[in-house]
A and B are shown apart, each in its own frame.
Chain A
Amino acid sequence: DAGVIQSPRHEVTEMGQEVTLRCKPISGHNSLFWYRQTMMRGLELLIYFNNNVPIDDSGMPEDRFSAKMPNASFSTLKIQPSEPRDSAVYFCASRRDKDNEQFFGPGTRLTVL
């Protein structure tokens, strides 16, 4: 298995632009999680899905952030418009419901200028 796949690995954009991050979870995993990691705030859960349905989006910082999971093998996290304070590493993780362990992707390093 290739593990959790995220793209792009690095993204540099200018303030005001739309950014779309992509994630392919491990096949057979029911839950998908989006995290953001910064030096100041550590690892924060933004949103998680179970069976493609958003369960808890209380960590989404504001309306500029949105996430979708149209099917079991794909999810997107969109920021529109982006701001410099959105600069961070964004991780996607997936898990099978009967297990507790989360499997993390390699992350997308986002820089908003």
Chain B
Amino acid sequence: SQQGEEDPQALSIQEGENATMNCSYKTSINNLQWYRQNSGRGLVHLILIRSNEREKHSGRLRVTLDTSKKSSSLLITASRAADTASYFCATHLKGAQKLVFGQGTRLTINP
């Protein structure tokens, strides 16, 4: 089964609203990363949070990590039409060099 599972699978909101996406995982991690994928394009790294961190900010992005619950959330504030994309969490497992990606959340921002 997937190491990272996003929730919800799809989210549609109005421009200016905040968007929250969640990710759950199963095993111990070194860090957790969030990526964005625009339609027909490759993934782009957004933000990384290490296992000893609880919250991180980057511009309009806020990521939280709860290792006791094995979950993370990505908050996009003041959403814009250009934020329309799929968002993936990826876990960097302990002792491994690779990332394991979730199935993604498809976010649509309506103007």
Chain A contact residues, CB within 8 Å of chain B: 4, 31, 33, 35, 42-43, 45, 48, 50, 55-56, 91, 93, 100-107
Contact = CB atoms under 8 A, between A and B. Distances in A.
Q: Is the interface of B mostly helix, strand, loop or mixed?
A: strand
B64 interface: no
Q: Is the interface of A mostly helix, strand, loop or mixed?
A: strand
Contacts of B45: 101-103
Interface residues of B, number: 21
B2 interface: yes
A50 B97 contact: yes
Contacts of B31: 100
A105 B41 CA distance: 8
B102 A106 contact: no
The residue in A31, A48, A104 that gathers the most chain B C-beta atoms within 10 A of its C-beta is A104
